[in-house]
Amino acid sequence: MRVVVTGAAGMIGSNLVHGLNRLGAKEVIAVDDLTDGPKYRNLLGSTLADYFDKDEFYRRFAAGELGHIDAILHEGACSDTMEHDGKYMLETNYRCSKTLLDACLAQGTRLLYASSAATYGGSETFREEPAFEAPLNVYGYSKLLFDQVVRRYLPTLRSQGGTQDGQVVGFRYFNVYGPREQHKARMASVAFHHFHQFRQHGHVKLFGEYNGYAPGMQSRDFVYVDDVVAVNLWFLQHPDQSGIFNLGSGRAQPFNDVAHATVNACRALDGLPALTLAEQVAHGLVSYIDFPDALRGKYQCHTEADLTRLRATGCDHVFSSVASGVSGYVAWLAGQPSN
């Protein structure tokens, strides 16, 4: 199988590359923009058949110059939820994806792509239906706009009972965390930041009370990147399944749980016993700061993936809890070189 991964040096993309290699895939083609050169480290240890700069790849693939490609795992995007340049966001996340979709349909290439839970915005229901989609920022809108295009194509696909060959799958990622996200800087996961805060300062910080939620009790559906890879690869092995699906753990857990798990995992590395959250707070290991004004009205205080549609496909993957996922992630982070 000849598979392309766009955004291949990013967090999810690089983990997909490694996952494909573990699955035995040898013809893996990486696509990215390595202007940020150190991102190459995420691909160390992987086996690649080729590498393309993103601009060259999209142009040549659309022109049919790259030969037959079985599937594209499209992770390339601008994922900065604080980016306010709508023109850039729509060109990067919508227009690029739409052009890629057109080329995939024309060439019979399967497309599995990254959508986002940001499409739901302030909704209290996280089900893959238009009634619950109300993005709070242009990032979420750029993802929703492409999902809407895909919805129009889905009835024509043979996997949906239509007449056109191909598989198209969109994954609405919830809060993904795990190895190979260091290049994301401020957009890296809270687990990543908590690990480094604790190692450098001996404590971690969380947002205080906001929107009726007690300190640290804003909750998200945190999903470990290994689980994201597993579900992507399950769909790659089940080409008869198409659609737009939530990809989260199906559990909402408060940020307090992440802080608690990170601190205890770091303490375990130092041979220290686990503490309750209350004990961590009492010892100053977990503290709270005022909720930032810049995020008011633009912040999802609760997300929880409805996995009904995902499970209906037959995908029965068991997702990690925050406690187990963060423990594994902290062990991985502790083993990385300091520079």
* 175 assigned ligand-binding residue: yes
* C-alpha dihedral sign at 261, 266, 269, 273: negative
* 87 assigned ligand-binding residue: no
* 122 assigned ligand-binding residue: no
Whether 173 is catalytic: no
In the numeric block, which tokens belong to residue 206?
Answer: 């969380």
* 170 assigned ligand-binding residue: no
Q: Which of 58, 113, 120, 139 is catalytic?
A: 139
* 39 assigned ligand-binding residue: yes
Complete DSSP assignment for 86-134: HHHHIIIIIIHHHHHHHHHHHHT-EEEEEEEGGGTTT-S---SSGGG--
* 116 assigned ligand-binding residue: no
* 211 assigned ligand-binding residue: no
Q: How far apart are CA 138 and CA 119, in angstroms?
A: 10
Whether 139 is catalytic: yes
* 143 assigned ligand-binding residue: yes
Query: Which residues, 6+ apart, have CB-to-CB distance to 94 below 8 Å?
Result: 142, 145, 146
Q: How far apart are CA 108 and CA 97, in angstroms?
A: 16
* 113 assigned ligand-binding residue: no
* 53 assigned ligand-binding residue: no
Query: 45 phi and psi, to 5 degrees?
Result: 90, -5
SS3 content of the chain, % helix, strand, coil (to 5): 45, 20, 40
In the numeric block, which tokens belong to residue 255?
Answer: 């940020």
Which residues are bridge partners to 213 per DSSP? 210
* 127 assigned ligand-binding residue: no
Query: Which residues, 6+ apart, have CB-to-CB distance to 121 below 8 Å?
Result: 133, 134, 135, 136, 137, 140, 300
* 228 assigned ligand-binding residue: no
* 321 assigned ligand-binding residue: no
Q: Which of 40, 51, 184, 213 is catalytic?
A: 184
* 97 assigned ligand-binding residue: no
* 232 assigned ligand-binding residue: no
* 191 assigned ligand-binding residue: no
* 186 assigned ligand-binding residue: yes
Query: Going along the chain, which residue ranges are E strands?
Result: 2-6, 27-32, 50-53, 71-74, 110-116, 168-173, 175-177, 204-207, 219-220, 222-224, 243-247, 253-254, 286-289
Q: How far apart are CA 119 and CA 145, in angstroms?
A: 9
Torsion of CA 147, 151, 153, 154, to 10 degrees: 120
Q: How far apart are CA 46 and CA 20, in angstroms?
A: 9
In the numeric block, which tokens belong to residue 57?
Answer: 């790849």
* 220 assigned ligand-binding residue: yes
Residues contributing to the annotated binding site = 11-12, 32-33, 39, 54, 75-79, 143, 175-176, 184, 186, 193, 207-210, 220, 299
**Active-site residue list:** 139, 184
Show binding-site residues for NADP(+): 11-12, 32-33, 39, 54, 75-79, 143, 176, 184
User: Residues marked as binding for substrate?
Assistant: 175, 186, 193, 207-210, 220, 299
